[in-house]
Structure 1
Amino acid sequence: MLPIIKVLGSASVGVLLFQLLHLPMPWLLGPIFSVMLAQLTIRTKTSWVWPSWLRNCGLVLLGAAIGEAFTRSIFLNIGNYLLLMLMLNIVLLFFCILLAFVTQKLTGMSFMTALTSSIPGGLSQSVTFAEEHKGIDLGTVTYFQVIRVLSIVSIVPFIVSGQLLPDAVHHPEEPFWKIALYVLLAFASVPLGKLLKLPVAYFLAPVVVGIVINAFGVQPPAIPDSMLHAAQLSIGAYIGLMLKPDMIKLPWKVIMMGLISALILLLFSYGCSIVLAKLAQVDMITSFLSTAAGGMDQMSLIATAMKADPAFVTLFQLFRLLFIYFIVFPLLQWAANKVTRKATDLS
């Protein structure tokens, strides 16, 4: 229990500091920064551990909160966004290929390593893909994907915090039994989500529960702020532990290029968000979070905390995730097999 208590204590200190300094999203960003700095600077005999089940509980609560926001009107308008989502993701793919060429030239890593590092396809999926192919450097891919998530999740709230949104709709207090029943349904949906192989099942299965309830004309209860704060702290502590001390031992060119590529992707996403905001007629916070390559669950969490439109953000992030899973990763698989065959022929 001591390693978990250490992380919880560090995360709590981060929350308090961010609240005292009036910084955005103290329950998410506070734990990310404090836990990351603590594990990198404080040397103790015990390790730093935050069980994945605690992070998963946070994802379930977040998914339930976002599922409540998926009203019928969103699905009535989904056809208007399909072509826009497809075009934005095709542009993102070509931009990542260009970024991979630049990364290869500046660092000397293989092109497949640079490409797998540059495409924002989700941390676990990208790492798994790298593990399955001998020509791809696993450590480099892990570092690039981790630093991208950390950079985007850390910087985006500061960019959008100064922008104004209409006052959030205040829901009346729901009876405890309604909230408890909805949360139980959200947790019960996870095994089915895993069986159906939904991406990020702990997050997406509860979203589907909220969508189904809404489809029957019943408004799901709003998740209380106290639960969402606990979810943010749990997810933030987990993200803060992603950057391991051994990642800093990579060549300095790789370390610097990881940071630079994450910032370049962030700037590119901001440019795409300006186009999306005008074409889809949404506010800039919602638009930016929809295009930012920081992960569906993280961007949806920020949208919920910032009182943006989490359903719109989740819809666009989910489309990008599926686009990368079913189009980009199969293309990467084909390219990796081709490179392997060429290497075998030469030998």
Structure 2
Amino acid sequence: MRNIQSMGIVLVVSLLGVWIFNLLHLPVPWLLGPLFFVLISQFFIKTHLYWPSSFRNIGLIVIGISVGQSFQFHFFENMGRLIGIMLSMNVMIALFSLLLAYGLVKAGHISLKTAMTCTVPGGLSQIVAFAEEEKEIDLAVVTYFHVVRVITIVLGIPLLLHAHAAGGGKGADFSLSSFAELVLLLVVAAGSVWVGKKLKIPVPYFLSPLLLVIGMQILSFETPEVPGGLLHIAQLMMGAYIGQLLTPKMLVLGKRIVLLGVATTILLMLFTIGQGWILMKMMGYSLATSILGTAAGGLDQMSLLASAIGADVTIVTIFQMFRILFVFIIVLPLLKAFCRHIDERDTGRI
């Protein structure tokens, strides 16, 4: 009963955020309004705010379908050159993350293992899971750094790009004739998540429906377009969930750590914005597409923002998917090997 009341409070706060963001003509009101207002309200409302991850997952399925329907296959004609560009940019951001980690060790007086895990530009849930498996990594600090990164990037980049946004699609109008088809598509997409989990696909609630819809398009299956109202609900579900990630308890880590978390996030965001500007000049993409493609945010959030503000969803999604694969295949195994080396050195085995 208490959780239901808490969810009701989050819903009211989220709708208030949507209304204020719409009133002020701020970008992506159905995502950023709930995110910002739920985030701020936690510091004033004494009741614990609860928003289940299952709501976020439902929103991800809807958004995955929508992004999959926006995919343009002509992008792959230039893939050879783009792989080189994406690889070089990810190597650059990995090296920059190492510099940030070194700065954290010196300024924050934390272990090198914790510092490196704090600055890896990977997915929030995957990095936190990695930190849980390793010894002598401060999980609270790692969680705080990555939560701050996600929230700052998801809030900051749309506001920065507001003047450059072309305005995203509103989604299809609701139609009773396509309702049954839409429900069937949602059920099949939810089933694809189970397959994605079995195959260990990153971000399965988003990527599995996306790949399903792309596959259906390749096979010439018609899919009903997601209604604008349903997309708004999905964005609210995601925004409210992200907003309640940064809890007041995290700020008891100490003033130095709290400030360093914000500082490293801003430096990382500025670095990726610089990469976006270079990408825009090299490839002729729009500023919004380039910055969202290189941003160190989540695949799901950046693809959603691309769709919402009128950037090229295909380019942003491919760049973000490549970054996730780069982190999973190269960065995390190297980080794991480094952590094992540190453990062996500390126990006197080498």
- Fold agreement, TM-score > 0.5: yes
Mapping 1:138-157, distance limit 5 Å: 138-157=139-158
Out of 1, 24, 40, which is 1:21 matched to? 24
Q: Distance in 1 between matches of 2:329 and 2:201?
A: 13
Q: Name the stretch that deviates more: 333-342 or 126-135.
A: 126-135
| Number of residue pairs the alignment of both structures matches | 345
Looking at structure 2, the residues matched to 78 and 3 of structure 1 have their Cα atoms a distance apart, in angstroms, of 47
Q: Summarize deviations over 1:297-344 as a string: whole Å, max 9, x none.
A: 111111111121112111110110110011100000000000001110
Match of 2:341 among 300, 315, 338: 338
Alignment-derived partner of residue 81 in structure 1:
82
User: What do residues 16-58 of structure 1 show as CA deviations (whole Å, max 9, x unaligned)?
Assistant: 11111111111011101111111122113xx211111110000
Hey, what's the Cα distance between the residues in 2 that align with 1:278 and 1:268? 16
Moved more, 108-117 or 77-86: 77-86
Mean CA deviation greater in 174-183 or 96-105: 174-183
Query: Structure 1 residue aligned with 2:332, among 329, 332, 340?
Result: 329
User: Residues of 2 paired with 1:219 and 1:306: CA distance?
Assistant: 25
> Paired residue for 1:120?
121
Match for 1:198 among 172, 193, 201?
A: 201
Contact 1:71-1:211 within 8 A present in 2 as well: no
Q: CA 1:14/1:227 → structure 2, altered by over 3 Å: closer, same or farther?
A: same
> For 1:253 and 1:149, how far apart are their aligned partners in 2?
20
Match of 2:36 among 29, 33, 36: 33
Amino acid of the structure 2 residue aligned with 1:132: E
- Superimposed CA distance per residue, residues 266-315 of structure 1 (whole angstroms, 9 cap, x where no aligned partner): 10011000111122221110110010001111111111111211121111
CA drift at 1:170: 8.2
Pair 346,208 (structure 1): closer, same or farther in 2 beyond 3 Å: closer
Q: Counterpart amino acid of 1:18? A: F
1:255 maps onto 2:258 in alignment:
yes
Q: Does residue 312 of structure 1 match 2:315?
A: yes
Distance 1:48 1:168 in 2: 32
- Which of 296, 300, 305 does residue 303 from structure 2 map onto? 300
CA contact (8 A) 1:189 1:209 kept: yes
Find the counterpart in structure 2 of residue 181 from structure 1: 184
1:48-59 maps to which residues of 2 (within 5 A)? 48-59=49-60
Q: Which amino acid aligns with 2:119?
A: S
Cα shift readout 1:135-170 (whole Å, capped 9, x = no counterpart): 211111000000000100010011111015388698
**Structure 2 equivalent of residue 8 of structure 1:** 11
User: Structure 2 length as normaliser, TM-score?
Assistant: 0.94
Instruction: List 4+ stretches of structure 1 deviating above 6 A.
Output: 169-174
Q: Residues 77 and 213 of structure 1: is their aligned pair in 2 closer, same or farther, counting only changes over 3 Å?
A: farther
In structure 1, give the amino acid aligned to 2:253: L
**8 A contact 2:292–2:302 mirrored in 1:** yes
Please give the alpha-carbon distance, in whole angstroms, between the structure 1 residues aligned to 2:256 and 2:294: 28
CA distance in 2 between partners of 1:9 and 1:170 (Å)? 24
Written as runs of structure 1 = structure 2, the 5 A alignment for 1:90-169 is 90-165=91-166
- Are the counterparts in 2 of residues 72 and 215 from structure 1 also a CA contact under 8 Å? no
SS in 2 for 1:161: helix
- How far apart in 2 are the matches of 1:240 and 1:17? 16
How much is the aligned-residue C-alpha RMSD, in angstroms? Answer: 1.9
Change (3 A) 1:34 1:72: same
Write the letter of the residue equivalent to 2:41: A
SS of the equivalent of 1:267 reads helix
CA distance in 2, matches of 1:162, 1:114: 35
Whether 2:64 is the aligned partner of 1:63: answer yes
Identity score, percent: 41
Asked whether 1:270 is paired with 2:273, we answer yes
Deviating more after overlay: 243-252 vs 274-283:
274-283
Decide whether the 8 Å contact of 1:146 with 1:242 is kept in 2: yes
CA separation in 1, counterparts of 2:221 and 2:81?
A: 25
Distance 1:85 1:113 in 2: 27
Separation in structure 2 between the aligned mates of residue 239 and residue 225 of structure 1, nearest angstrom? 21
State the 1:222 CA deviation. 2.3
Matched residue SS, 2:226: coil
SS at match of 1:176: helix
CA distance in 2, matches of 1:108, 1:309: 42
In the TM superposition, residue 226 of structure 1 has moved relative to its aligned partner by 0.6
Structure 1 stretch displaced more, 16-25 or 202-211: 16-25
Tell me the amino acid that sits aligned with residue 110 of structure 1.
S
- In 2, Cα distance between the equivalents of 1:122 and 1:168? 27
Shift of 1:225: 1.0
